[in-house]
Structure 1
């Protein structure tokens, strides 16, 4: 069963408004010398990308924008932010697949003078295209609270050549790692591990997490916990042994999982798990939601997963579990809500995929 037939259909597409994008991208033709020798992004090129966004042709709207961005960069800029597909960083390993809660993938923030206004407009369009339109304001709220707004502390990198056999766009920052790969990265959803988080009301948010745009995901999970019977709650609740939040590498089919196996759930309870899953993937574009389900099904579906709630880190000792984890052979969604929200996501169809965190 597709778990988002009811709430996440294609009605939210396109993610980027065609008129707004055309207004932004076509400004290149008017800027003239202010473009600082950037290649001319002709209005016709911008129009083609916008048309692909509007039509959702082949699910490639985000990827078309990445190609447009790549073509808009000068050779000097490409030297700084574009890399070979398997580029190895001396300190950070395979840079394309790295994930962290607060990091810069390159040395240039989107709002730095390194980029022109036109390039920033395309970067913003790529960013928006990765999320459902209804989530744009929420993600902007997270960025405003955590880093002063989009682009202030966000850096990008492009690996491979967009339109080629393999390529990937990565945007990072505080409480953010997001990717766009045109399904060219084998085995994985989202193009690789991602991260999201929010410190809405200061570093220590308190038990109600006021204003946190991601806390409703935990509310949905806790509603599921309350729907379990006493024995199931005992199995699901881990009193000691909260894992490090970064520990989201795959354990495989023979892994030792915490919490309750979902095979212990009734059909009604499994429907509630589907609701949690829908809430988790709700912010993202249809293509990425579909990839998550395809990867999950290939490893045995939700029946191959465990769900754990952690007593450690229960803010206010109120029995509303701030930390919880849904995990299977090659599926990890780790929600850390104490002292504020950090969420680590690693999903693939093959447990042999290695994590770089």
Structure 2
């Protein structure tokens, strides 16, 4: 299928970018890798090797072993189309809607499609898998098989590797703990336009990720007037990968410091993080917790809500951000959900 024809099958929501491999090659030649920036995946990140934490997903995890079998199944033409060296700059890119390579999962044979589904199931929790499948069905004609996957490195060897899935409202990774100190193997993105609606109703009916925003707004409801003034800003940050660049010691003092909250509110913040992590496999969730602990824990985070694009003008904030020195999670619920996430042991 021609690239332009394939792209036409993806709904144009006015804010979600498409990016084919052809576009990538063109932009690379022009020096315009805007989404591959320092603090966003580290294209040359070191192989974790024998120093990796065994509690995080390693090469023997279910998703990783399925990646190795998937890689082995690829023909030479397929490898030429979707496989790259591990240190290729394309691996670190994160976008809200793009084709990392031209072939889609639907272009593969029956065994390869099944392996991609096995990998996807392995990188999520049971609940998360159901939610991702609903999201993909709503967001792309053909659902899961309309998405694209690429392989970096050599999954069959002891060398580092990463499997990346992209498409409308997803950039997800499986890396066997190949990227040292980076949760998920680098920054990720997930989103949803519920029931295919570009602009959702204020309650975000049927949006699979909106429970995360409900948990954040529960925290806001417990704040006093002074805390609300500190937590609430007028203008939202840009809806792009740069907003989750890890800031380290340069983290701004905007937003509300979690360290200033009482014990119950801090526990609600932990619950908020757990709500987000519940969609992923436990190994990745545990790695996020370890990274957060290594960079200062929950007390190092700042929570910010934004008045901009408050759907329904109901004071239930659609856009908010939880950020620390090496933790950045930006949730935009307007006009529908976009969620950017980047977590490491240090910036």
Equivalent residue for 1:283? Answer: 279
The count of aligned residue pairs is: 287
* 1:190 has 2:184 as partner: yes
Alignment partners' CA distance in 2, 1:170 and 1:257 = 34
Moved more, 227-236 or 265-274: 227-236
Equivalent residue for 1:214? Answer: 209
Against the structure 1 CA distance between its residues 251 and 177, is the aligned structure 2 distance closer, same or farther, given a 3 Å change threshold? same
Q: Structure 2-normalised TM-score?
A: 0.80
Secondary structure at the aligned position of 1:106 is classed as coil
Deviations 1:58-117 (A, max 9, x none): 861111000000111112211111110112xxxxxx1011100000110100002xx111
Equivalent residue for 1:67? Answer: 68
Equivalent residue for 2:150? Answer: 157
Alignment partners' CA distance in 2, 1:340 and 1:164 = 41
Select which of 107, 116, 122 maps to 1:123.
Answer: 116
Q: Structure 1-normalised TM-score?
A: 0.78
Q: Which runs of 5+ in 2 are unaligned?
A: 1-56
TM-superposed deviation, 1:233: 1.3
Alignment partners' CA distance in 1, 2:98 and 2:213 = 25
Equivalent residue for 2:52? Answer: none
Equivalent residue for 1:76? Answer: 77
Equivalent residue for 1:105? Answer: 100
Q: Runs ≥4 in structure 1, deviation > 6 angstroms?
A: none
Equivalent residue for 1:22? Answer: none
TM-superposed deviation, 1:192: 0.5
Equivalent residue for 2:292? Answer: 296
Equivalent residue for 1:329? Answer: 325
Alignment partners' CA distance in 2, 1:173 and 1:290 = 26
Alignment partners' CA distance in 2, 1:149 and 1:291 = 32
Deviations 1:319-339 (A, max 9, x none): 000000000011100000000
Q: Is the Cα–Cα contact under 8 Å of residues 254 and 304 in structure 2 kept in the other structure?
A: yes
Moved more, 226-235 or 280-289: 226-235
Which residues in structure 2 correspond to 1:32-47 (within 5 Å)? Answer: none
Which residues in structure 2 correspond to 1:250-329 (within 5 Å)? Answer: 250-329=246-325
Secondary structure at the aligned position of 1:111 is classed as helix
Against the structure 1 CA distance between its residues 234 and 128, is the aligned structure 2 distance closer, same or farther, given a 3 Å change threshold? same
Secondary structure at the aligned position of 1:151 is classed as helix
Alignment partners' CA distance in 2, 1:175 and 1:297 = 29
Alignment partners' CA distance in 1, 2:94 and 2:253 = 22
Select which of 109, 127, 141 maps to 1:148.
Answer: 141
* 1:244 has 2:234 as partner: no
Select which of 156, 161, 168 maps to 1:167.
Answer: 161
TM-superposed deviation, 1:168: 0.3
Alignment partners' CA distance in 2, 1:140 and 1:272 = 28
Alignment partners' CA distance in 2, 1:214 and 1:200 = 9
Moved more, 205-214 or 242-251: 242-251
Q: Is the Cα–Cα contact under 8 Å of residues 310 and 324 in structure 1 kept in the other structure?
A: yes
Alignment partners' CA distance in 2, 1:182 and 1:152 = 23
Equivalent residue for 1:179? Answer: 173
Q: Is the Cα–Cα contact under 8 Å of residues 153 and 174 in structure 1 kept in the other structure?
A: no
Root-mean-square deviation (CA, aligned residues, Å) is 1.4
Alignment partners' CA distance in 2, 1:177 and 1:254 = 27
TM-superposed deviation, 1:136: 2.1
Moved more, 319-328 or 247-256: 247-256
Q: Which runs of 5+ in 1 are unaligned?
A: 1-55, 88-93, 352-357
Alignment partners' CA distance in 1, 2:275 and 2:297 = 17
Alignment partners' CA distance in 2, 1:241 and 1:57 = 41
Alignment partners' CA distance in 2, 1:156 and 1:306 = 34
TM-superposed deviation, 1:135: 2.5
